[in-house]
Amino acid sequence: MPFFDCLQQASFFDCLAHPPLDPYAVSQGLWLIIALPLAGALLSGLLGRLLGRANTNLIACAAVGGSFVISLLAFLALNDRSATLQTPFSDEPLRFALGHDFGTWFAVGAFRAQFGLAVDHLSAVMALVVTGVGFLIHVYSTSYMGHDRGYWRYFAYLNLFVAMMLLLVLADNLPLLFVGWEGVGLCSYLLIGFWYEDAAKAWAGRKAFVVNRIGDFGFLIGMFLLTLWVGAFDAQTRRFAGQGRALDHWRAGMMERGPLTFHGLEEAVRRIPPAPAATAGAVTLQTPIESGPLQGLTFGQALTAVLLLFMLGAAGKSAQLPLFVWLPDAMAGPTPVSALIHAATMVTAGVYLFSRIGFLLVLSPAAMATVALVGAATALFAALIAFGQDDIKKVLAYSTISQLGFMFMAVGLGVFWAAIFHLATHAFFKACLFLGAGSVMHGNADETDIKRLGGLRREMPWTAATFLVASIAISGFVIPLSGFFSKDAILHGVHASRLAVFEWVPTAVWVVGLVAAFCTAFYIGRLYLLVFEGKRSPQARVAHPHESDWPMTVPLVILAALSVFAAVYGLPIIHAMGRDQTLIENYLLPVSRIPEELERIHRTVAIEEAAGWSDWMKTWTEAWFIALAGGLLAGVLYLWYFPSPHRAPSALGRALMRAARNGFYVDRLYELAIVRPTKLISFLLYKVVDTLLIDTIFVRGTAWVTARVATVIRYLQTGDAQSYAAVMALALFLAAGYALIQVLK
């Protein structure tokens, strides 16, 4: 019962638990969440110049703000008792989920894709983060882009980005998700190259696009394989475990909604029994595929291939090894864009994807191990590079890559709730850090070199205070804030995870994660201390920086506050299922229930849950000491050791620093191994195929032959009309003679 209906029957306080809007109405209106920013993008893009700066600002902010309000209504409506989603795949409705099918996008043979949107606890958290942080960044941008001529273009792209990200999050099938997936990539390209008059920035946009395309290619192939996989599953399954009608029901749903909906896939894999317990007519992961292009593989192997291809896609979008190289260059875009796209939202798409298809991931220990190891390697590698960066935005970019690595660690080892928790807290504090960096640049004539800043705390108190809060949140030194809890939840879950087949992986990932956490505290400490503490650098561009306007500082304060208070969700204060659960774990249970069930049945991964507060206290203390050590090291080095003129870093230190500054030469390696050979081959193809074969032989050759023939036969054209008439008469005479002979015969 909605809140206002309730008010007529009961008192105000009794009604507080009721959602403001009826769940059915919310499910019908889900499209509005996407349509609002999309309309905003159209308005700003087409009419922004006519409307003027103030109106465009208003439209852009209002579109995202409205989207946030509807997302909030959906979020609240989800907790109502009547918030159930009846999918066509099974009899039992899904609880705590809403959705609606808005019609067919396309249907070819047995394949179809629907405009289906669904929201559950996972999508709701994502939608709130995207629209909430997105709204704050829009407000911030009104001031940051206050002097830019291309404001209308900027806000059109930004709104389009939010719309695409929401489509990605709310889609209930993979093809529609892919539209959002590509859309955010496109907007990222447009915004990185926003100042396209600067060639380096335009190239950075192109690099991001190309690297993303490599990942998207993997994603596409993965989707094709998954379609084949579902087809084979459909063909070889004789009956589902349980009721006899379940299989018919599922097949009917597949016909209606297509093979790649999340609910349909979930229903399918739920019916896969573990190999020893298989009944006749059921498909297990060890069953070989009998026909089709996947013939010869077992269902489990094919699924692993699909998941590894998805991992390639996720590595491209979420900047993981080996495709992370675009994100540091993406800092060419305006700083709020870095905050929104390259820290808070788009780059989390890979984490979201794997949380969404967690029920597939947990069936393949090999894919899980790969995801976790890639995440761990990226977390450490990027954190090490962040040591050596002097550009304030580059430090934050590598920090983002590193934090995303943490999320992939958690996803890979089945601790989905910790990954989503870290995703949300990271969105808050990283957006705060990036916006803080933007504020620093705004007040210091676009200076980004941290060696040429320093001592900003006195002139920019709001920026410094919020930056400090966010720094503490990300590293957890001094006092634990939200990022500390979420990162610790990941490390704790990773440590407690027992992966089948690859038993060594969780331990390895855990150790690497601890080292990366130490590095995090160090580089963030270095960043804060160099920028805000100490003395003002003699090379500073501006003698006295100024604090930014309120549209820039207010979002900073809100984000800093969120970074602090989000910690509440990491406290194990709910007692359920025989143990203390953290708030966020409990909240995400409706989504993570099925992956956890599958983990148990197939014994792919087991997570030894913390028994209670005492366990959590132990891991918190561990993690806190590590963060403290990293932070203290940074403090000692940059407040006491380096500022004194007599001490210079050792030769080894300098060499390491140089390597880290150059990103361990990964870009140069790619340049040598991939870009140069590609360019060489392209050059050869251009010279041989294009210039020689097509241009010279085909195009010019045809013209040459025609011209030569024409030089000879053109003498037939005398210009004398009477000789033409004579030829015609002769032809007529011959034709008449021929006809006469035929008739006489």
Partner 1 sequence: MVSTQHYLLLAAFLFCIGMFGVMVRRNALVVFMCVELMLNAANLTFLAFARQRGDSIGHASAFFVIAVAAAEAAIGLAILIAVFRSRGTLNVEEIKTMKH
Residue number with CB closer to partner 1 (650 or 711): 711
* Rounded least distance, CB 728 to partner 1, Å: 9
- Other Cβ atoms less than 10 A from the Cβ of 326: the count is 25
Residue number with CB closer to partner 1 (673 or 729): 729
Residue number with CB closer to partner 1 (538 or 719): 719
What is d(CA 52, CA 43) in angstroms, rounded to the nearest whole number?
12
Contacts of 735 by beta carbon, 8 Å cutoff, 6+ apart:
none
For residue 119, give the 3-state DSSP assignment: strand
Q: What angle do CA 424, 425, 430 make, to 5 degrees?
A: 105
* Rounded least distance, CB 205 to partner 1, Å: 56
* Rounded least distance, CB 735 to partner 1, Å: 14
Cα-based distances in Å from 719 to 687, 713, 722, 728, 729: 45, 14, 9, 15, 17
The answer to whether 426 and 483 have CB atoms below 8 angstroms apart is yes
Contact positions toward partner 1, by CB under 8 A?
Answer: 714-715, 717-722, 725-726, 729
What is d(CA 53, CA 47) in angstroms, rounded to the nearest whole number?
11
* Rounded least distance, CB 713 to partner 1, Å: 9
* Rounded least distance, CB 701 to partner 1, Å: 24
* Rounded least distance, CB 726 to partner 1, Å: 5
* Rounded least distance, CB 738 to partner 1, Å: 17
Amino acid at 275: A
What is d(CA 509, CA 260) in angstroms, rounded to the nearest whole number?
32
What is d(CA 181, CA 171) in angstroms, rounded to the nearest whole number?
11
For residue 173, give the 3-state DSSP assignment: strand
114, containing H or E segment: strand 111-120
Helices (runs of H) and strands (runs of E) counted in the chain: 29, 8
Q: Which two structure tokens, joined as six digits, stand for 395?
A: 């430090």
Residue number with CB closer to partner 1 (9 or 718): 718
Considering only CA atoms, give the Rg of the chain.
31
Residue number with CB closer to partner 1 (535 or 714): 714
What is d(CA 385, CA 286) in angstroms, rounded to the nearest whole number?
42
Amino acid at 271: R
Q: Tokens 């609910």 — which residue?
A: 263
Cβ-count burial 557-596 (b if 16+ within 10 Å, e if not)? bbbbebbbebbebbebebeeeeebbbbbbbbbbbbbebbb
374, containing H or E segment: helix 365-387
* Rounded least distance, CB 732 to partner 1, Å: 8
556, containing H or E segment: helix 550-565
What is d(CA 607, CA 617) in angstroms, rounded to the nearest whole number?
18
Residue number with CB closer to partner 1 (8 or 718): 718
* Rounded least distance, CB 711 to partner 1, Å: 9
Contacts of 206 by beta carbon, 8 Å cutoff, 6+ apart:
189, 193
Residue number with CB closer to partner 1 (504 or 715): 715
What is d(CA 736, CA 742) in angstroms, rounded to the nearest whole number?
10
* Rounded least distance, CB 210 to partner 1, Å: 54
Residue number with CB closer to partner 1 (13 or 715): 715
Residue number with CB closer to partner 1 (275 or 729): 729
Residue number with CB closer to partner 1 (717 or 742): 717
* Rounded least distance, CB 741 to partner 1, Å: 18
* Rounded least distance, CB 716 to partner 1, Å: 8
Residue number with CB closer to partner 1 (646 or 708): 708
- CA nearest neighbour of 520 among 576, 465, 474: 474
Residue number with CB closer to partner 1 (17 or 729): 729
What is d(CA 728, CA 731) in angstroms, rounded to the nearest whole number?
5
* Rounded least distance, CB 189 to partner 1, Å: 56
Residue number with CB closer to partner 1 (682 or 723): 723
Which residues on adjacent β-strands are paired with residue 576? 579
